[in-house]
């Protein structure tokens, strides 16, 4: 999706002989998430990426749906999700539909014994707490608080954490995650009115080529199953690559807010988009500067989308009793707006320190068993006081 990038050694011409020091050929692989019809990269492997030596039994990881249908404002305490050692086991799906799967995770350990590949979904991993390195065949991405890690489906990775206390908010998208079309020039450059630009996008660095043979376990997620593959070489055996399809990082702290004299609607916070959903960033910003302006948002009837807000940090002036890691879900069909007193409280306020990630889905979300376990059931009545 982003701009052209290259790391390591590549041949002068694509699809030509590219030889190792011992005279053997490197194995070229075209990698894309939409066949030959969209952005792609060419990777040059020390060993063939088809080198499977053993296949194990798959096991189910499909989220347990609790409610297929519902119409109710909901609130969930994200930090009630219990920390677990293993990265994949720690990921708990909370809200799902056929376009996205939204999970919370508090992994304590790095993935050092296996490699992971999500064959179904691009992943947007938002780092709420923690830091470390995302290791991929393209190189590494350092990450810290506030980073979005955007990982195209099919990318093999390991995630290494610096500490055991990590909190992640993960959106799996069953379609490519893109920069919003409205930010792009006809040729794909981020335009001047975009709240971020290419300079804010961090591509992989420090390409490490592991020329190692052995037995390397890879867990591949596809259609709610986790498949077990063993490869005869280290999956990070790439000597060089180039192209436009690769994992990258973008910090929410690099999102430049768009403000106005009167209240700006949520599309000004748009950050990424996929099929039937958008991801928005609410960041610290100055409030509206019309002398009679009302900084609190107006009531609105989001009839065509479910709105999920994940609270990261700061003070949320439109809601009461908000805590870090809390999620509110305002489903399409019933209007929502500021809590009683919030409009008056907001008058004259100059700025907000709020930090949040919003996911709006254009088809209804289903709750999972985990969502019900962390729910605050009194939320629906919280406007009645
Ligand atoms: Fe809203």
- The answer to whether residue 151 scores a pLDDT higher than 60 is yes
Of 123, 225, 108, give the one whose Cα is nearest residue 169: 123
* Rounded distance from Cα 337 to ligand 1 centre (Å): 7
Give residue limits of the domains in the chain.
29-59+81-252, 256-384
The pLDDT value given to residue 315: 77
Token pair 């609130």 is found at 75
Report d(CA 123, CA 145) in Å as an integer: 17
* Rounded distance from Cα 100 to ligand 1 centre (Å): 19
Report d(CA 218, CA 236) in Å as an integer: 12
Report d(CA 153, CA 205) in Å as an integer: 20
Min mean pLDDT across 154-158, 226-230, 350-354, 381-385 is at 381-385
- The answer to whether residue 47 scores a pLDDT higher than 60 is yes
* Rounded distance from Cα 8 to ligand 1 centre (Å): 45
* Rounded distance from Cα 306 to ligand 1 centre (Å): 9
Q: What is the DSSP letter of 259?
A: -
* Rounded distance from Cα 311 to ligand 1 centre (Å): 13
- The answer to whether residue 269 scores a pLDDT higher than 70 is yes
Residue 226, classified by CB atoms within 10 Å of its CB into exposed (0-12), middle (13-18) or buried (19+), is middle
* Rounded distance from Cα 299 to ligand 1 centre (Å): 8
Report d(CA 76, CA 322) in Å as an integer: 10
Of 243, 278, 53, 270, give the one whose Cα is nearest residue 155: 243
Q: What is the pLDDT of residues 275-305, one digit of tens each?
A: 999 999 999 999 999 999 999 999 998 889 9
Report d(CA 146, CA 355) in Å as an integer: 9
Task: Give DSSP secondary structure letters for 174-210.
Answer: SS--B--GGGB-TTSPBPTTSSS-GGGPBPPBS----
* Rounded distance from Cα 263 to ligand 1 centre (Å): 13
Q: What is the pLDDT of residues 318-338, one digit of tens each?
A: 666 789 999 999 999 999 999
The pLDDT value given to residue 35: 87
The pLDDT value given to residue 318: 64
Q: Do domains 29-59+81-252 and 256-384 have the same CATH topology?
A: yes
* Rounded distance from Cα 72 to ligand 1 centre (Å): 14
* Rounded distance from Cα 236 to ligand 1 centre (Å): 43
The pLDDT value given to residue 9: 98
Q: What is the pLDDT of residues 63-114, one digit of tens each?
A: 999 999 999 999 999 999 999 999 999 999 999 999 999 999 999 999 999 9
Mean pLDDT of all residues belonging to the chain: 96
Strands 115-118 and 213-222: parallel
Strands 351-352 and 59-60: unpaired
> Is 256-384 in CATH node 2.60.120.10?
yes
Which residues sit opposite 302 in a β-bridge? none
Q: What is the pLDDT of residues 225-266, one digit of tens each?
A: 999 999 999 999 999 999 999 999 999 999 999 999 999 999
* Rounded distance from Cα 336 to ligand 1 centre (Å): 6
Residues 6+ apart with CB under 8 A from 373: 80
The pLDDT value given to residue 237: 98
Report d(CA 79, CA 75) in Å as an integer: 12
* Rounded distance from Cα 307 to ligand 1 centre (Å): 6
Average pLDDT over residues 301-318: 88
Strands 351-352 and 52-55: unpaired
* Rounded distance from Cα 68 to ligand 1 centre (Å): 22
Min mean pLDDT across 145-159, 256-270, 314-328 is at 314-328
- The answer to whether residue 33 scores a pLDDT higher than 70 is yes
Min mean pLDDT across 33-37, 86-90, 151-155, 376-380 is at 33-37
* Rounded distance from Cα 267 to ligand 1 centre (Å): 11
Strands 122-129 and 147-151: antiparallel
Q: Which residue has the higher pLDDT, 182 or 322?
A: 182
Q: Which CATH superfamily is domain 29-59+81-252 in?
A: Jelly Rolls (2.60.120.10)
The size of the chain, in residues, is 385
The pLDDT value given to residue 317: 62
* Rounded distance from Cα 358 to ligand 1 centre (Å): 9
Which residues sit opposite 346 in a β-bridge? none
Q: What is the pLDDT of residues 105-144, one digit of tens each?
A: 999 999 999 999 999 999 999 999 999 999 999 999 999 9
Q: What is the DSSP letter of 380?
A: G
- The answer to whether residue 385 scores a pLDDT higher than 70 is no
Q: 3-state class of 347 per DSSP?
A: coil
Residue 253, phi then psi, degrees to nearest 5 = -70, -10
Q: Nearest-5° angle of CA 110, CA 112, CA 116? A: 90
Report d(CA 311, CA 281) in Å as an integer: 10
Of 10, 54, 40, give the one whose Cα is nearest residue 218: 54
Task: Give DSSP secondary structure letters for 260-287.
Answer: -SSPPPGGGGEEEEETTEEEEEE--EE-
- The answer to whether residue 1 scores a pLDDT higher than 60 is no
* Rounded distance from Cα 164 to ligand 1 centre (Å): 34
Task: Give DSSP secondary structure letters for 128-148.
Answer: EE--EEEEETTEEEEE-TTEE
- The answer to whether residue 198 scores a pLDDT higher than 90 is yes
């Amino acid at each position: 999706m982003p701009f052209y990038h290259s790391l390591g050694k590549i041949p002068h011409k694509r699809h030509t002989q590219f030889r190792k020091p011992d005279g053997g050929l490197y194995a070229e692989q075209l990698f894309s998430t939409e066949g030959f019809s969209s952005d792609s990269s060419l990777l040059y492997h020390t060993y063939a990426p088809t080198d499977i030596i053993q296949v194990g039994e798959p096991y189910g990881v499909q989220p347990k749906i609790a409610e297929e249908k519902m119409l109710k404002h909901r609130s969930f305490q994200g930090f009630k999700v219990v920390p677990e050692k293993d990265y994949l086991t720690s990921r708990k799906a909370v809200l799902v539909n056929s376009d996205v799967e939204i999970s919370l995770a508090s992994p304590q350990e790095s993935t050092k014994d296996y490699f992971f590949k999500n064959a179904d979904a691009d992943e947007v991993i938002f780092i709420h707490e923690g830091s470390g390195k995302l290791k991929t065949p393209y190189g590494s991405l350092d990450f810290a608080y506030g980073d979005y890690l955007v990982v195209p489906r099919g990318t093999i990775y390991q995630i290494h954490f610096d500490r055991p206390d990590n909190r992640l908010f993960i959106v799996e998208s069953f379609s490519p995650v893109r920069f919003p079309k409205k930010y792009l020039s006809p040729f794909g450059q981020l335009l001047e009115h975009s709240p971020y630009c290419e300079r804010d996008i961090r591509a992989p660095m420090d390409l490490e080529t592991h020329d190692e043979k052995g037995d390397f376990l890879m867990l591949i997620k596809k259609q709610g199953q986790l498949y077990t593959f063993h490869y005869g070489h280290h999956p990070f055996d790439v000597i060089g690559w180039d192209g436009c399809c690769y994992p990258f990082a973008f910090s929410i702290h690099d999102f430049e807010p768009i403000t106005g004299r009167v209240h700006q609607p949520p599309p000004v916070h748009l950050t990424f988009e996929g099929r039937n959903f958008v991801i928005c960033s609410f960041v610290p910003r100055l409030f509206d500067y019309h002398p009679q302006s009302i900084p609190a948002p107006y009531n609105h009837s989001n009839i065509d989308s479910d709105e999920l807000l994940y609270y990261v940090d700061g003070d949320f002036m439109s809601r009461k009793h908000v805590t870090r890691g809390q999620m509110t879900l305002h489903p399409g069909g019933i209007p929502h707006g500021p809590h009683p007193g919030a409009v008056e409280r907001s008058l004259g306020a100059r700025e907000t320190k709020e930090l949040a990630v919003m996911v709006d889905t254009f088809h209804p979300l289903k709750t999972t068993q985990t969502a019900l376990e962390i729910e605050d059931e009194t939320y629906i009545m919280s406007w009645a006081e």
